[in-house]
């Protein structure tokens, strides 16, 4: 019998020995692999952070003490230890537990998170609130090395040093991007620097030297400079020390005894401090260790082979693949085209572009705001940047979209992957807000393709516009039901009629065009003939098409894979009101004004009454 089945809360591990904690770590990793092989999920990161999660809950008094997981995709062990082991089978399933920390799910999840680089700011804010209220609890932020390079993390680090609040930051370095080794000298210095006796003596000596008349401050500054010079030769903590955040490490993130002892010592010190921990992504599962990028986030897989249980979307011609192939083809014929992404090379389909044209490929790291302004400047310099960013992550560059791209009217082409609901990653990752937050920005053109073929045409067309463009497309297959031979060339701001009708006009954009076709077929069985209009553009709206349809029918149905408030349907309504078009009954279908939970995409469409069958029933009930 193992330990895991008897652990209901973190308190249950307090009496464990180090060897028992290590055995528990193996059990948790096995549990993570077994469950995610069925549900999919973020496997490699959580396997790498398992020992950190165990050590934190062993040392801290949670939930009184707060653990803040940056991004959150490394928190599976944390979930298992905090009363959710029995429910772990439901990971990322509709009605089950989230794949990320969720404050509504557990008191141990301080924040709901899914975007990177928020944890240090959260930790500092909590610390200020704690001190104002004269409360007493510890705060630890677990941050990955990639997230640390984001501007928000650096801003928070700078402020943390300035405010000198008592917080601890765990730098989970699983790419060796900061430190390449954990050497004997570093281990020795770390033991010295984390020793309570050493730190007490250091503080007392500093206080004594400072009291020496006239020379005290100078002597203290000289001593500090000498200490920093020695430390900086041995350990990579100069940046943090300069920001007045005490640095400890690097330490082996899979040595439980070292982790526990370091956490006990460092968390007892006051002020801001950072512990640099070296971990291995995918630790304990060979396939994930060998290919951590593939096991970053994936669907169900075979444990023995590590291969997907069913054919992976990436091999089936999804929109990301179409985008990547088309952009590479375009770049070969146009030397001004460049590709920009924010740490999502594989996910956005740019892997081959990066290999074949490295000099024209720019991965700026987890820094979406920088990516937008960087691309604006490249456009100013004569390049044609295609910026591939997930819809949900572009939210982080909103000011830059307005100030640095639209205001300058620069030809930056944003390719918004994962637009619409994305399924099991849930509310932090659903890309349902982009049409609403882009539509009111002057100078922007917003397009959405019905299928992969139309997407390629939109990419070609975007280059000719020489102004800011956003092309939004969903996760999943790019195969449509309409043959390429029926394609009508794209005209600026013009929709196309795919099917003639008389009783109802269905205006659909992007992914929802395929649903419009099925809805029209179902309505036809009831004797109702519907026009199908492929809107193509959310902005500018095809006003002449709306006016034309208003002469043909008094019933409009709008379909969008985006939030209904302020989106495509709202644009249609606004035009009708502005032009004072009378007697039009408009029914809008889109995602409601709320955060949509996690679950398979088809399950979410069903729950929110957005399947073709449900929409048809709705139309028949409310419009006929």
Told to judge if 11 belongs to the known catalytic residues of this protein, a careful annotator would answer: no
Among residues 130, 165, 246, 396, which one is catalytic? 396
Structure tokens at 234: 């041995």
Structure tokens at 534: 């492929």
Report yes or no: 588 and 569 within 8 Å, Cβ to Cβ. Answer: yes
SS3 396: helix
Report yes or no: 112 and 597 within 8 Å, Cβ to Cβ. Answer: no
Distance CA 169, CA 437 (A): 34
Among residues 66, 130, 281, 457, which one is catalytic? 281
Among residues 241, 368, 454, 496, which one is catalytic? 368
Distance CA 96, CA 381 (A): 49
Distance CA 517, CA 535 (A): 13
DSSP labels, 309-325: SS--GGGS-BHHHHHHH
- The DSSP secondary-structure symbol of 594 reads S
Distance CA 501, CA 519 (A): 13
Which of 440, 457, 451, 443 lies closest to 491 in space, CA to CA? Answer: 457
Q: 471 forms bridges with which residues in the sheet?
A: 415, 447
Structure tokens at 36: 């995610």
Report yes or no: 300 and 287 within 8 Å, Cβ to Cβ. Answer: no
Cα-to-chain-centroid distance, residue 53: 21
Q: Per residue in 167-203, is it b (16+ CB within 10 Å) or e — as a string?
A: bbbbbbbbeeebbeebeeebbebbbebbeeeebeeee
Told to judge if 200 belongs to the known catalytic residues of this protein, a careful annotator would answer: no
Told to judge if 450 belongs to the known catalytic residues of this protein, a careful annotator would answer: no
The Cβ of residue 601 has, within 10 Å, a number of other Cβ atoms equal to 17
Report yes or no: 253 and 51 within 8 Å, Cβ to Cβ. Answer: yes
Distance CA 467, CA 111 (A): 39
Report yes or no: 88 and 97 within 8 Å, Cβ to Cβ. Answer: yes
Distance CA 13, CA 133 (A): 30
DSSP labels, 339-386: EEESS-TTTTT-HHHHHH-GGGEEE--S-HHHHHHHHHHHHHTT-EEE
Report yes or no: 342 and 364 within 8 Å, Cβ to Cβ. Answer: yes
Enumerate the active-site residues.
281, 368, 396
């Amino acid at each position: 019998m193992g330990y895991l089945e008897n652990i209901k809360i973190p308190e249950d591990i307090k009496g464990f020995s180090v060897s028992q904690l290590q055995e528990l770590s193996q059990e948790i990793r096995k549990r993570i692999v077994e469950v995610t092989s069925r549900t999919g999920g973020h496997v490699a990161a959580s396997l790498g952070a398992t020992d950190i999660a165990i050590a934190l809950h062993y040392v801290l008094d949670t939930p009184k003490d707060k653990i803040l997981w940056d991004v959150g995709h490394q928190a599976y062990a944390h979930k298992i230890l905090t009363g959710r082991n029995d429910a772990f089978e439901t990971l990322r399933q509709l009605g089950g537990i989230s794949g990320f920390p969720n404050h509504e799910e557990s008191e141990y999840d301080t924040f709901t998170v899914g975007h990177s680089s928020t944890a240090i700011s959260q930790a500092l804010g909590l610390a200020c609130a704690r001190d104002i209220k004269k409360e007493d609890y510890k705060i630890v932020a677990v941050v990955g090395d990639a997230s640390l390079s984001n501007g928000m993390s650096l801003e928070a680090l700078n402020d943390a040093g300035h405010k000198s609040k008592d917080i601890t930051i765990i730098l989970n370095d699983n790419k060796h991007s900061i430190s390449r080794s954990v050497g004997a000298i570093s281990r020795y210095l770390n033991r010295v620097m984390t020793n309570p006796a050493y730190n007490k003596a250091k503080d007392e000596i500093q206080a004594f030297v400072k009291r020496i008349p006239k020379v005290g401050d100078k002597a203290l500054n000289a001593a500090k400079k000498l200490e920093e010079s020695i430390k900086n030769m041995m350990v990579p903590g100069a940046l943090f020390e300069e920001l007045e955040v005490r640095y400890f490490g690097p330490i082996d993130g899979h040595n439980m005894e070292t982790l526990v002892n370091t956490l006990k010592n460092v968390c007892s010190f006051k002020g801001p401090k950072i512990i640099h921990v070296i971990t291995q992504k995918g630790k304990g599962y060979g396939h994930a260790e060998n290919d951590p990028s593939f096991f970053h986030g994936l669907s169900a897989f075979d444990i023995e082979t590590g291969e997907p249980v069913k054919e992976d979307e990436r091999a089936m011609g999804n929109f990301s693949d179409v985008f990547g192939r088309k952009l590479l083809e375009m770049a070969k014929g146009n030397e001004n085209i460049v590709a920009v992404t924010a740490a999502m090379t594989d996910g956005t389909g740019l892997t081959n572009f990066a290999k074949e044209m490295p000099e024209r490929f720019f991965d700026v790291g987890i820094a979406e705001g920088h990516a937008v302004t960087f691309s604006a400047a490249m456009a100013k310099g004569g390049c044609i940047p295609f910026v591939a960013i997930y819809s949900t992550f572009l939210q982080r560059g909103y000011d830059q979209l307005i100030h640095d791209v639209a205001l300058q009217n620069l030809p930056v082409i944003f390719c918004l992957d994962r637009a619409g609901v994305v399924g099991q990653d849930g509310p932090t990752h659903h890309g349902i807000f982009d049409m609403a937050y882009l539509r009111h920005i002057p100078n922007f053109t917003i397009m959405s393709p019905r299928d992969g073929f139309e997407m390629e045409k939109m990419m070609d067309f975007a280059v000719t516009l020489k102004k800011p463009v956003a092309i939004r497309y969903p996760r999943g297959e790019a195969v449509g039901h309409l043959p390429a031979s029926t394609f009508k060339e794209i005209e600026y701001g013009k929709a196309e009629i795919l099917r003639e009708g008389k009783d109802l006009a269905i205006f659909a954009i992007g992914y929802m065009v395929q649903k419009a076709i099925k809805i029209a077929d179902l309505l036809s069985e009831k004797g109702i003939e519907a026009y199908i209009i492929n809107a193509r553009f959310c902005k500018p709206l095809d006003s002449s098409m709306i006016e034309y349809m208003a002469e043909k029918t008094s019933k409009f149905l709008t379909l969008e894979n985006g939030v209904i408030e302020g989106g495509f349907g709202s644009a249609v309504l606004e035009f009708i009101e502005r032009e004072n078009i009378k007697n039009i009954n408009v029914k809008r279908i889109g995602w409601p004004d709320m955060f949509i939970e996690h679950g398979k995409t088809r399950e979410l469409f069903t729950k929110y009454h957005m399947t073709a069958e449900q929409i048809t029933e709705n139309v028949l009930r409310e419009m006929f």
